[in-house]
Amino acid sequence: MKETDVIHVSKDRPEKGKYVKPLFRGLSFIFKNFLTKPVTLQYPTEKTQRSQRWRGLHRLEVDEKGELKCVACGLCARICPSEAITIIPYEEEGKTRYPKKFVINELRCIFCGFCQEACPKGAITLTEVYDYIDYNRTDFIFDIEKLKHPEKLEFKGK
């Protein structure tokens, strides 16, 4: 919106009986904008395009067999400045190590992205999901199941 489009009601108040010009100014403003594309988005069904570097809720990535890529090395938990990640590793003899428990406290997280940077397996990424809402604090403590499907947690309205 340009400065010329703004009508300062108190400053430009016309003298008594001289309302026709301001009335047409107002009407012309309405008609001009009536024909332009609205900028309003119907959130939550419509959402703005997020930057590729956006850092939203975490995702634990899986391989083509659907297995977690995470090998529970603990680097992400070590580097996390908020101490938001808790991992309990598990390893069967001769088999790959994996996380028995992998928990992220999304309320502590500052979405810095260090965990994603530090992971040697590309096993944890930050997604575009930014509008998860809930009523209980405990619901923001994400376990493996929640971390595997953050897109399910996106707010889509009722």
Contacting residues toward ligand SF4, per CB under 6 A: 70-76, 79-82, 84-85, 87, 104, 109-115, 118-119, 121, 123-124
Buried b (16+ CB within 10 A) or exposed e, 109-129: bebeebbbebbeeebbbbbbb
Residue number with CB closer to ligand SF4 (114 or 130): 114
Rg (CA), the chain: 26
Query: Shortest distance, CB of residue 115 to ligand SF4, whole angstroms?
Result: 3
Query: Shortest distance, CB of residue 89 to ligand SF4, whole angstroms?
Result: 8
Residue number with CB closer to ligand SF4 (29 or 130): 130
Residue number with CB closer to ligand SF4 (105 or 154): 105
Q: Among 72, 76, 66, which Cα is nearest to 117's? A: 76
